[in-house]
């Protein structure tokens, strides 16, 4: 009984922060975030500051050692803690992991949509190949980012129910995106050049052009009654239709990269199949790369060419879909696959990964998965394992495979 009380007390103590301590933390945080914010909000930043080179020109996006931290009042939460992966042009990359492992924060970092000022990209590069120039998104100032976001890189959000504005018609919402980026989108279009100017005639011509584009987009994602849907409100559409509208919106500006953050999680299986089919066919039609974030391994297997498995803010394993599914190597990947019942494969008991994800504020200094891992080796007590290449494309961060590069 006494022992029980003691453990209870120590647990409480570990979670307890005095007001003074909390104030100190938030003061320190403010200092850091203010400085980062100031840097971001500068005007007329010379382009040379955020121009860079791709490591491999055939990639459209390279994420290199990305760190995104949240400066909260109870400490710094390292949501993304050294993520590295590439997105080749015209390919689909899937990111899998449990909730809270940093999947969404990685994608929000790419879009510069991490909640400010608490959330900040503190380290690392996100190199984006815009065709003629290569930008480092992590260093880009805000005003410049507006030209890329939604235009070159766009995003499909998880919940189609909440990410559409309920008080505007569907058409207006898609129009808005196109109008905002119209100068870029319609470049070289004679009709659009003619419709420049402030008078009513020109405005009307421009609006008609934009509307035509919106309806074309709605048709593209398989909305049959596109003229009708143009005038509808979001509540008049079903979940699947709303998700189609979101996809249409994301595609409107012919982006090079589409980030789909759990695009099918809120949908039924039959509707999910429809949406996956649309994404697959669209990728070929507009030649974009897709980053798909999900916790459903089935979806990943179906749509992705490359897979990155994330755990507690880091990529623990990455490779082609075939490599990951045929030879899962990291214990976490193996556990994740075994914990899911698969259709027509009978098992008596499902494997369940023991324990839970470590606290993001207080990460251990050894392998983050060690406490839940059933395949630990001696070296696991050492620092976080580096990446070991099992094949040119297949990398895993685990000591079980680190044989040759011990000096790493």
Handedness of CA 5, 10, 14, 20 (dihedral sign): positive
Q: How many residues does the chain have?
A: 408
Cβ neighbours of residue 334 closer than 8 Å, sequence gap 6 or more: 328
Which residue among 297, 310, 373, 398 contacts other proteins (CB under 8 A)?
297
- Tell me the β-bridge partners of 294: 96
Residue 360 Cβ, how far from other proteins at the closest point, in Å? Answer: 14
- H/E stretch holding 81 reads strand 75-88
Kindly state whether residue 241 participates in binding other proteins, applying the rule CB under 8 A: yes
Q: Which residue has the tokens 């008609």?
A: 208
Q: Does 277 bind other proteins (CB under 8 A)?
A: yes
Residue closer to other proteins (CB basis): 38 or 344:
344
Measure the CA–CA gap between 201 and 195, rounded to whole angstroms. Answer: 8
Structure tokens at 152: 């070159």
Check binding of 95 to other proteins (CB under 8 A): no
Q: Is 36 one of the binding residues for other proteins (CB under 8 A)?
A: no
Residue 384 contacts residue 365 (beta carbons within 8 Å): yes
When binding is defined by CB under 8 A, the residue of 204, 281, 356, 386 that contacts other proteins is: 356
Other CB atoms within 10 A of residue 180 CB: 16
The answer to whether residue 262 forms part of the interface with other proteins (CB under 8 A) is no
Closest alpha carbon to 246 in 272, 275, 225: 275
Cα 121 to Cα 113: distance, rounded to the nearest angstrom: 11
Which span sits near other proteins by CB under 8 A: 174-182, 183-191, 331-339, 400-408?
331-339
Q: Which of 232, 271 has the CB closer to other proteins?
A: 271
DSSP state of 51: B
Please select the residue that binds other proteins; options are 192, 351, 384, 401, rule is CB under 8 A: 351
- Indicate the residue among 257 and 275 with the shorter CB distance to other proteins: 275
Q: Count interface residues toward other proteins (CB under 8 A).
A: 46
With a CB cutoff of 8 Å and minimum separation 6, the contacts of 298 are none
Q: Pick the closer one to other proteins by CB: 137 or 321.
A: 321
Query: Are the C-beta atoms of residues 138 and 155 closer than 8 Å to each other?
Result: no
Report, in Å, the least distance between residue 228 CB and other proteins.
15
Binding mask 96-135 for other proteins (x = CB under 8 A): --xx------------------------------------
Per CB under 8 A, which region of 110-118, 161-169, 284-292, 350-358 contacts other proteins? Answer: 350-358
Q: What is the residue whose two structure tokens read 């919402």?
A: 173
Question: Given candidates 301, 334, 376, 379, which one binds other proteins under the rule CB under 8 A?
Answer: 301
- Using rule CB under 8 A, residue 295 touches other proteins: yes
> In the complex, which residues of this chain contact other proteins (CB under 8 A)?
4, 7-8, 98-99, 238, 240-241, 268-274, 276-277, 295-302, 304, 321-322, 325-326, 335-337, 339-344, 347, 349-353, 356
């Amino acid at each position: 009984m006494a022992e029980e009380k003691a453990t209870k007390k120590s647990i409480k103590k570990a979670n307890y922060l005095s007001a003074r301590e909390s104030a100190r933390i938030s003061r320190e945080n403010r200092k850091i975030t203010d400085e980062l914010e100031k840097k971001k909000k500068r005007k007329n930043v010379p382009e040379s500051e955020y121009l860079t080179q791709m490591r491999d020109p055939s990639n459209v996006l390279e994420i290199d050692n990305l760190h995104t931290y949240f400066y909260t009042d109870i400490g710094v939460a390292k949501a993304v803690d050294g993520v590295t992966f590439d997105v080749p042009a015209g390919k689909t990359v899937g990111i899998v992991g449990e909730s809270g492992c940093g999947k969404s924060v990685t994608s929000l970092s790419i879009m510069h949509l991490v909640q400010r000022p608490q959330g900040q990209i503190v380290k690392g590069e996100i190199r984006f190949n815009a065709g003629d120039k290569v930008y480092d998104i992590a260093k880009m100032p805000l005003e410049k980012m507006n030209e890329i976001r939604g235009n070159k890189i766009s995003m499909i959000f998880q919940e189609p129910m909440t990410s559409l504005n309920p008080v505007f018609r569907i058409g207006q919402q898609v129009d808005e995106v196109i109008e905002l980026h119209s100068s870029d989108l319609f470049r070289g279009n004679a009709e659009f050049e003619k419709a420049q100017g402030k008078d009513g005639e020109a405005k009307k011509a421009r609006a008609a052009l934009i509307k035509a584009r919106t309806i074309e987009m709605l048709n593209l994602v398989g909305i049959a009654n596109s003229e009708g849907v143009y005038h509808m409100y979001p509540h008049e559409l079903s979940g699947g239709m709303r998700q189609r509208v979101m996809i249409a919106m994301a595609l409107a500006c012919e982006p090079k990269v589409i980030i789909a953050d759990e695009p099918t999680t809120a949908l039924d299986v039959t509707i999910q199949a429809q949406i996956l089919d649309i994404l697959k066919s669209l990728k070929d039609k507009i030649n974009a790369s897709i980053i798909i974030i999900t916790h459903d391994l089935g979806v990943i297997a179906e749509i992705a060419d490359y897979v990155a498995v994330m755990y507690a803010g880091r990529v623990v394993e990455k490779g082609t879909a075939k490599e990951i599914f045929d030879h899962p190597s990291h214990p976490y990947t193996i556990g994740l696959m075994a914990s899911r019942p698969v259709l027509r494969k009978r098992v008596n008991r499902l494997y369940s990964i023991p324990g839970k994800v470590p606290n993001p504020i207080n990460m251990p200094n050894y392998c983050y998965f060690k406490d839940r891992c059933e395949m630990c080796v001696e070296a696991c007590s050492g620092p976080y394992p580096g990446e070991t290449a099992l094949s040119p494309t297949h990398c895993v961060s685990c000591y079980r495979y680190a044989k040759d590069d011990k000096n790493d």
